[in-house]
Structure 1
Amino acid sequence: MELQDVQLLLERFTEPNGRLTALFVTKTGTKYSAFQPQISTNLQTEIIRLFKETINSKRDDENLSKVPFNPSGQEQDEYSECSTDYVGNYGEVINLFDSANSEIEPDDISFIIFRLRVNDDTESPRYIYFFRKNHKLKTIRKGFWMRKVDHTFRKLEGNKLVAIDGAIDAVSLDDSILFFSHISAERIFNLREKFRENASLVLNDDRVVERIDNFEEFQDDCLNDARIIRRLTKIQSNPAIIDLFHEHFGNAPEVVELFDLNITFNDEESSIIYENKEQLTHITMLMRDAYYRTILADRKGIDDFNV
Structure 2
Amino acid sequence: MNTQKFDSAKLLSNLSRNSLMLHLTGRKYNGDLFSVTPTINKNVQQEIIDLIEKQISYYDNQNLKQYDIVGSIDDTVEYANSNDYINKLNEIFSSLKQPMVLNDIDPNSFDFFTYEFKSTNGKPIYVFRKINRMKALKKGILGEIANGSFTKIKSSKLLGIDNAIDFIVIDDKIFIFHHISLERVLKLNDQFKDKAKDVLSNDEFAEKIKNFDELKKRALENGNYVKRLAKLYKNDGITAFLEKIDRTKSVIDQFNLDIEVNKGQLIYRDETQIGNFVNLMQDSYYKTLIGNQNGIDEKR
| Shorter-chain TM-score range | 0.7 to 0.9
Q: Does the C-alpha gap of structure 1 residues 295 and 57 become closer, same or farther in structure 2, counting only changes over 3 Å?
A: closer
Residue 58 of structure 1, CA deviation: 1.4
**Deviation at 1:291?**
0.9
* Alignment correspondent of 2:177: 180
Residue in 1 aligned with 2:75?
A: 77
Q: TM-score, normalised by structure 1?
A: 0.83
Amino acid at match of 1:158: S
Q: What's the CA shift string for 1:242-275, capped at 9, x where partnerless? A: 26445544311111111111222231x2x32223
What amino acid is the match of 1:114? Answer: Y
Q: What is the CA distance between 1:200 and its match in structure 2? A: 1.9
1:160 to 148, 157, 161: 157
Task: Report how far residue 156 of structure 1 moved.
Answer: 2.7
> What does residue range 242-261 of structure 1 map to in structure 2 within 5 Å?
242=238, 244-245=240-241, 248-261=244-257
Asked if structure 2 preserves the Cα contact closer than 8 Å seen for 1:138 and 1:158, the reply is: no
Q: CA–CA distance in 1 between the matches of 2:255 and 2:100?
A: 57
Q: 19-28 or 161-170: which moved more?
A: 19-28
Alignment of structure 1 residues 56-95 onto 2, 5 Å: 56-59=57-60, 62=61, 64-87=62-85, 89-95=88-94
Which amino acid in structure 1 is aligned with residue 96 of structure 2? F
* TM-superposed deviation, 1:65: 1.4
Relative to the length of structure 2, the TM-score reads 0.85
Q: Contact (CA 8 Å) 1:202, 1:208: kept in 2 or not? A: no
Offset, 1:165: 2.2
What displacement does 1:28 show? Answer: 6.7
Counterpart mapping for 1:89-238 below 5 A: 89-101=88-100, 103=102, 104-119=105-120, 126-140=123-137, 141-146=139-144, 148=146, 154-236=151-233
Aligned partners of 2:144, 2:64: CA distance in 1, in Å? 41
The one-letter code of the counterpart of 1:99 is: Q
Q: Return the offset for 1:232.
A: 0.6
Alignment deviations for residues 187-225 of structure 1 (CA, whole Å, 9 cap, x no partner) = 211111111122122112344444323333222222221
> Given that residues 195 and 229 in structure 1 are in contact (C-alpha distance below 8 angstroms), is that contact kept between their aligned partners in structure 2?
yes
The 5-angstrom pairing of residues 22-41 of structure 1 reads 22-27=22-27, 30-41=31-42
- Tell me whether 1:47 sits opposite 2:48 in the alignment: yes
Do 1:65 and 1:78's aligned partners in 2 also have CA atoms closer than 8 Å?
A: yes
Structure 1 gaps, min length 5: none
Shift of 1:300: 1.1
In the TM superposition, residue 152 of structure 1 has moved relative to its aligned partner by 7.0
Shift of 1:143: 2.4
Distance 1:229 1:42, change over 3 A: same
Q: Does structure 1 conserve the Cα–Cα contact (< 8 Å) formed by 2:241 and 2:247?
A: no
Is 2:281 the counterpart of 1:287? yes
**Are the aligned partners of 2:33 and 2:91 in contact in 1 as well (CA < 8 Å)?**
no
SS at match of 1:172: strand
Unpaired runs of at least 5, structure 2: 1-5
Q: Percent identity?
A: 26
Q: How far apart are the structure 2 equivalents of 1:22 and 1:283?
A: 46
Corresponding position of 1:6: 11
Distance 1:168 1:248, change over 3 A: same
Q: Deviations over 1:92-141 (max 9, x none)?
A: 12221033325341133221111112256xxxx62110111111234444
Cα RMSD (Å) of the superposition? Answer: 2.6
Residues 288, 37 of structure 1: alpha-carbon distance in 2 compared, 3 angstrom cutoff: same
Residue 300, structure 1, aligned to residue 294, structure 2: yes
Which of 104-113 and 173-182 deviates more? 104-113
1:278 aligns to what? 272
Give the Cα separation in 2 of the matches to 1:218 and 1:257. Answer: 21
